[in-house]
Structure 1
Amino acid sequence: MDLKLAWKFKTFEELDTNELYSILRLRNEVFVVEQRCNYLDTDGKDQKSHHLSGYADGQLMAFARILPPGVSYEYPSIGRIAVAAKGRGKGYGIELLNESIKKVELLYGKSIIRIGAQLYLKKFYGSFGFVQSSEIYLEDNIEHIEMTRQIC
């Protein structure tokens, strides 16, 4: 697969202030403004995570954080998965998930991966091998499910 985005993969300590600002801005645009959710995005997990950022023409278009086992779940996790509004429909989300899974495997080897997913994205995540592994629950007034990807 030809990459459309230029990728950066860093620990929290390696992020510079402009990168961190761009990440937090994108997450706020998607999760707070677009989805109309008042919640604390800075949850104390960023410092323990690796950060995957995809850029097009110098602008952040896609982001995910890779969490180690024991931070959100007993297994490694991919969270805060976001694509900028102007980057949607271009395959960036597919590229982001493929790159995220590769990074989990780079850090933790072939491993089970667990995510907390918005219910409406169940089919999308299913296309990467994730299957529903919990009942539906409300998080910030949005229906979510846990999804698990077995070792492939």
Structure 2
Amino acid sequence: MATPEERLAELGLTLPEVVPPLAAYVPAVRTGDHVYTSGQLPLVKGELGVTGKVGAEVSAEEAKEQARICAVNALAAIKALVGELSQVVRIVKVVGFVASAPGFTGQPQVVNGASELLGEVFGEAGKHARSAVGVAVLPLDAPVEVEVIAEVR
């Protein structure tokens, strides 16, 4: 069976360097058998590809892709802490925040971008509990932010 890193490569993805914190926090914390990531923005090489509210300046499809990038950044934070993604036993929970225009109700479909990627990388172990929440605004005017809780060896 392929490792999570090999599955990422098959998807054409490379884990980036961990995004430096924007404030007074760390990218991820391990306590016992769990790693909790901080909220990950869809930063690529330190920059947001799109900004604004989903359902206004950002389409739901664009936001779903941005949620996928957030999940990749979360995996980078987890790997930096535990060494290899093969140390992940399962993804326990994902929390997605979607900067939403008034009336936008597609938060679950947007956060599917993160959830589907985790399923592709970890298979059954990537199935998780989840919350998808609409919010007024996110840091840097990002359209989406994702947190991940993983059980690790």
Shorter-chain TM-score: which interval? 0.3 to 0.5
Q: Which has the higher contact order (CA 8 A, sep 6+)?
A: 2
- When normalised by structure 2's length, the TM-score is 0.37
- When normalised by structure 1's length, the TM-score is 0.37
Structure with more strand by fraction? 1
